[in-house]
């Protein structure tokens, strides 16, 4: 049960930031990065695979991994946590800053989602940056995964790359600025489903706190965000968020 003190604090908020990580999508059946990589990628460390070096060394392995993740994402649905946030956003000024490269917030009905680590649905040319359009039909990649040569750009023939921010790459400046602006101008941050490890994203709750916001964390496990959070709800996203939105008596 979420305490009355937390609900009262949330009810007072007028400018809200929801900062989500992989745990937000876990109850939709999307493995978090803490879960072991499976299939072809079992023997790889996510941190080494999600890098420009890995793509340069073996583009087919990395592109195959993203296609495996993308096609599996097309087969899952937003969970009750995504839906609760979308309902909340229909009544309050609420900005979503997500580290997730999936589109589950949008598919639940949320809008203006800031993807600070990019999107798996927005590949682009490695050379001229032209966005690449996926074929409309898709075949879900086999469980075991496979190497797939990245497609070539339709404009300049160079290889296409996933539209995500890899480790060692700078975040897309406009997205980072929008996220910082939202954090520094809100009065409540809900940090949900993030291990609070990846920088600079993990600083978002701190930036908000430094400007006077209240920080509420939703995560079954402790994280470094515990150090800045005013309240910790030790529940999952799909358990806690519907309870919070229910208590707001929105409709
Ligand atoms: C940068 C897109 C500088 C890709 C991602 C050494 C060398 C190089 C860089 C570094 C280095 N040391 C530090 C760095 C910086 C590095 C970094 O932070 N490394 C850390 C990990 C040591 N950061 C970077 O490289 C960033 N760029 O610093 O650039 C620069 C500047 C100028 C010029 C050049 C460079 C870029 C980082 C972005 C990496 N890309 N994603 C892809 O998806 O393939 S990060 C990726 O991993 C996710 O986006 C996410 O951010 C992160 C995983 O974190 P979480 O989302 O928190 O997920 P996780 O699985 O970790 O945790 C899940 C949590 O949910 C857990 O706490 C769990 O308890 C909880 N949970 C589980 N189930 C539920 C739940 N909670 C609620 N409900 C549930 N049901
Ligand atoms: Zn090109």
| Percentage above 90 pLDDT, the chain | 86
Q: Residues 6 or more apart from 239 whose CB is under 8 A from it?
A: none
Confidence (pLDDT) at 223:
98
Q: What atom in ligand 1 is closest to the CA of residue 21?
A: 56
The DSSP letter of residue 214 is E
Same domain, 242 and 195: yes
Task: Provide the domain count of the chain.
Answer: 2
List residues with catalytic annotation: 117
Query: pLDDT confidence of 166, banded at 50, 70, 90?
Result: very high
Of 78-82, 133-137, 157-161, minimum mean pLDDT range: 133-137
Kindly indicate the confidence band of residue 36, based on its pLDDT and cuts at 50, 70 and 90: low
Residue 147 lies in a domain: yes
| CA of residue 155 to ligand 1 center, whole Å | 32
Task: Please give the Cα distance from 217 to 232 (Å, whole number).
Answer: 5
- 3-state SS record for 132-193: CCCCCCCCCCCCCCCCCCCCECCCCCCEEECCECCCCCCCCHHHHHHHHHHHHCCCEEEEEC
Tens digits of per-residue pLDDT, 201-235?
999 999 999 999 999 999 999 999 999 999 999 99
pLDDT 10s digits, 56-70: 999 999 999 999 999
Testing ligand 1's pocket by substitution, the residue of 22, 81, 84, 170 carrying the most ligand atoms inside 8 A of its CB is 22
Task: Please state the pTM of the whole predicted model.
Answer: 0.96
Pocket of ligand 1 from Cβ distances under 6 Å: 21-23, 26-27, 32-34, 50, 99, 101, 117, 164-170, 192-195, 197-199, 201, 218-221, 223, 236-237
Please tell me whether residues 184 and 215 are part of one structural domain: yes
Tell whether 166 is covered by a domain: no
pLDDT class for 34, splitting at 50, 70, 90? Answer: low
Question: Quick one: tokens of 139?
Answer: 């075949």
Q: Containing domain of residue 190, as a range?
A: 1-29+78-118+171-251
Domain boundary among the residues 101, 133, 161 is at 161
Out of 36-45, 103-112, 143-152, least confident range: 36-45
CA 42, 117, 236, 83 dihedral sign is: negative
User: CA distances (Å), 74 to each of 102, 111, 121, 140, 202, in order?
Assistant: 9, 19, 10, 8, 27
- pLDDT at residue 244 in the model: 97
| Residue 94 sits in the same domain as residue 212 | yes
Q: Is residue 175 part of a domain?
A: yes
């Amino acid at each position: 049960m979420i305490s009355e003190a937390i609900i009262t604090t949330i009810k007072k908020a007028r400018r809200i930031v929801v900062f989500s990580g992989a745990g937000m999508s876990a109850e939709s059946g999307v493995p978090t990065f803490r879960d072991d990589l499976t299939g072809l990628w079992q023997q790889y460390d996510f941190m080494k695979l999600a890098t420009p070096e890995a793509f340069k060394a073996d583009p087919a392995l990395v592109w195959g991994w993203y296609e495996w993740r993308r096609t599996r994402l097309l087969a899952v649905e937003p969970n009750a946590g995504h839906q609760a946030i979308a309902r909340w956003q229909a009544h309050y000024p609420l900005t979503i800053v997500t580290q997730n490269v999936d589109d589950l917030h949008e598919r639940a009905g949320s809008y203006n989602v800031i993807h600070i680590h990019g999107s798996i649905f927005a590949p682009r040319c490695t050379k001229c940056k032209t966005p690449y359009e996926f074929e409309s039909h898709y075949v879900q990649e086999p469980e075991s995964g496979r190497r797939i040569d990245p497609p070539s750009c339709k404009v300049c023939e160079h290889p296409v790359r996933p539209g995500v921010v890899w480790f060692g790459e700078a975040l897309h400046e406009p997205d980072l600025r929008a996220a910082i602006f939202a954090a520094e101008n809100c009065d409540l941050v809900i940090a949900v489903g993030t291990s609070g490890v990846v920088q600079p994203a993990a600083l978002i709750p701190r930036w908000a706190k430094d400007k006077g916001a209240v920080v509420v964390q939703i995560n079954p496990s402790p994280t470094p965000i515990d150090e800045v959070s005013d309240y910790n709800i030790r529940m999952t996203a799909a358990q806690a968020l519907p309870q919070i939105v229910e208590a707001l008596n929105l409709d």
